[in-house]
Amino acid sequence: MTKEFCIVPDTSVIIDGRITAKLKAGEFKSARVIIAEALMSELEAQANRGKEMGFKGLEELKELSDMAKRGEITLEFTGKRPSLEQIKLASGGEIDAMIRSIAVENNALFITSDRVQSEVARAKGLNVEFLIPLMEELKVLSIEDYFTDDTLSVHLKVNVQPCAKKGTVGKQKLVKIREEASTEKELRTITRELIERAKRDPDSHLEIEYDGVMVFQIGSMRIAVAQPPFSDGLEITAVRPVAHVRLDDYKLSKELKTRIIERQRGILVAGPPGAGKSTFAASVAEVLFEQGFIVKTMESPRDLQVPEAITQYAPIQRDMEKTADILLLVRPDYTIYDEVRKTKDFQVFADMRMAGVGMIGVVHATRGVDAIQRLIGRVELGIIPQVVDTVIFIDKGEVSKVYDVIFTVKVPQGMIEQDLARPVITIADFETKAVEYEIYTYGEQVVVMPVTGVEKERPATWGLAVREIEKELMKYTGNRVDVEIVSDSSATVYMAEEDIAGVIGKGGKTIDLIEKKLGIHLDIRERKADMPWKERSKPQKKESRIISFVPAVERSKKYVILTVKELSGATVDVYSGDECLFTATVGRKGDVKIGKETETAFRIMENPSIVTMRLAREE
């Protein structure tokens, strides 16, 4: 063209690089390119939030500036920077309107690759050129060069040697890919490729985007890109499945296969990270579909490898509860929930299960029983077996344990008297039917009691009973009381002579109320001054019993606080799953405080539902 004319590009053609491509191709020779300050502000804001499109847009503007210096175009910036209110309204088109107004004022050609923007501009009477992105053949991504047939995951970070985990599930090792460290330019190039692929490939998606982090699902690969301020440097982690596994490939009994497909159930697939939980859940989903069930998934990100006929749903507005509302309208027979981690996840899982939907949840846990413990406090204890009736524990890619979760009313293991019967959740080995754990309430505490190998003559619950009796009687006397458990239904209590009347009460009313509350008969006796407590007690073989308590976990401004009021003054071991974190003496209020910024506090808050306080008591 012989006549200079004005071009006003919008944000979309700056970010996707189409405007510079057309200028370099000589389509608009000696053009006057006008950039709205509103566009500049939007790119700057995106870059400040760590978004890749912001950096890419700024690089395109730098390219335009270089072209202007070479005399190929005339470049100028004009207009006002948007106000705070206009920035807040950017999603409603406020910034776009400011850019269009620049085109109107300069009688310029308005160029955009945003279809809505182009239609609005035409309606306003602007001269518009709508650029349709060219559909080029999808190229091999640079990240794929780091993978071999046995690579499970690739780990790249600026100024660090690239590494990969290779092998099979449960048998993997971390190896260096090369000696040279990754450069920022190299990782930025990979990131741009991922953004472009997510835009153009129907099988690729940008699943999650926050300030400083993006998570892509590119085919079967899940790729996380982290950068400041989220991380201390640009980092890319890519994970992919190494093999497609069918349910028949697992060594499952005929009874377990039948249990999975016979009717809608509540199943938790548990195991440590990288054990193969999601792979197993995907194989179950495939078999359920083949058996004629309607199967859906709830995932963030959507990375389960399932047949095309199984629709994969993501959180609606980052909220799985809203996704669940839609699924309840769709009414699938089964839903795979990958993964169930936070309190709200467990509540959504329970709501859908109680609505009659078969649910399979993927849960991080170090033991099978820990998966059930994570429900305690999040789901009402009495309905846990209705929410989850089967736990399948995966370790190193294999099914290592299957639990049957049953609700019953019985006398807990180690107790004898029938009047101590109560609701009990039994956790039994699915194959042998042997009960390994019982969950029930004792006083105000929820007790998760291992029952394997418990000796009947000295039940572990007697230690709890002693503490409950002492606690109750101290309300009526300020002096020491000594408790000796005789049986599950009776105990002998020794106290000072002056305290006996107050504990018995007029006509025995007080002691009747105490016995009714505790559920045990109390024989009140005077403590003899010439007879020390240890000498009066029946000679018994002392043995160590480990009693496990589930504490309330709270976080204050300075501390993470674990509370079990009944353990006041006791020395306990604090565990996360099977790992002992530390030993502490419980305070007068029944609490243990840990500095909020310590590594131990982070470990506890990472998975508070599997934290226990264990008391070793000689009986």
What is the pLDDT at residue 134?
Answer: 56
pLDDT band at 616 (very low <50, low <70, confident <90, very high): low
DSSP 86-113: HHHTGGGTHHHHHHHHHHHHTTPEEEES
Out of 18-22, 101-105, 560-564, least confident range: 18-22
What is the pLDDT at residue 567?
Answer: 81
What is the dotted CATH code of the domain comprising 6-130? 3.40.50.1010
What is the pLDDT at residue 485?
Answer: 81
Backbone φ and ψ for 166, nearest 5 degrees, come out as -125, 155
pLDDT higher than 90, residue 350: yes
What is the pLDDT at residue 414?
Answer: 64
pLDDT band at 29 (very low <50, low <70, confident <90, very high): confident
Distances (CA, A) of 554 to 103, 366, 443: 57, 22, 21
Looking at every residue in the chain, the average pLDDT score rounds to 83
pLDDT band at 488 (very low <50, low <70, confident <90, very high): low
Maximum alpha-carbon separation in the chain: 119
**In CATH, which of 3.30.420.610, 3.40.50.620, 3.40.50.2000, 3.40.50.300 is domain 247-450?**
3.40.50.300
> Same CATH topology for 6-130 and 247-450?
yes
Give CA–CA dist 75/66, Å, rounded.
10
pLDDT band at 461 (very low <50, low <70, confident <90, very high): low
pLDDT band at 294 (very low <50, low <70, confident <90, very high): very high
pTM (two decimals): 0.56
DSSP label of 609? G
Please report, in angstroms and rounded to a whole number, the separation of the first and last CA atoms in the chain. Answer: 99
Within its chain, how far is the Cα of 379 from the centroid?
A: 16
What is the pLDDT at residue 541?
Answer: 43
> Any idea which fold 142-239 has?
Beta-Lactamase (3.30.450)
Give CA–CA dist 229/233, Å, rounded.
8
Q: Which tops the pLDDT comparison, 77 or 569?
A: 77
pLDDT higher than 80, residue 433: yes
pLDDT in tens, 353-407: 999 999 999 999 988 899 998 898 888 888 999 999 999 999 888 888 999 999 9
pLDDT in tens, 76-97: 998 888 776 666 655 556 788 8
DSSP 144-165: GGG--TTEEEEEEEBTS--EEE
Give CA–CA dist 286/70, Å, rounded.
60
Give CA–CA dist 339/394, Å, rounded.
14
Sketch the domain layout of the chain as residue ranges. 6-130, 142-239, 247-450, 461-536, 544-618
What is the pLDDT at residue 254?
Answer: 85
Task: Identify whether the C-beta of residue 347 lies closer than 8 Å to the C-beta of residue 379.
Answer: yes
Task: Identify whether the C-beta of residue 183 lies closer than 8 Å to the C-beta of residue 158.
Answer: yes
Backbone φ and ψ for 462, nearest 5 degrees, come out as -65, -35
pLDDT higher than 80, residue 533: no
DSSP label of 540? -
pLDDT band at 265 (very low <50, low <70, confident <90, very high): confident
**In CATH, which of 3.40.1350.10, 3.30.300.130, 3.20.20.210, 3.30.300.20 is domain 461-536?**
3.30.300.20
Bridge partners for 137 per DSSP: none
Q: Please give the average per-residue pLDDT across 487-516, as a whole number.
A: 82
pLDDT in tens, 150-206: 888 999 999 999 999 988 766 778 999 999 999 999 999 899 888 878 877 778 888
Nearest CA among 541, 554, 617, 603 for reference residue 575: 603
Nearest CA among 342, 337, 52, 92 for reference residue 210: 52
What is the pLDDT at residue 90?
Answer: 55
Q: What SS3 state is found at 85?
A: helix
Give CA–CA dist 36/102, Å, rounded.
7
What is the pLDDT at residue 164?
Answer: 93
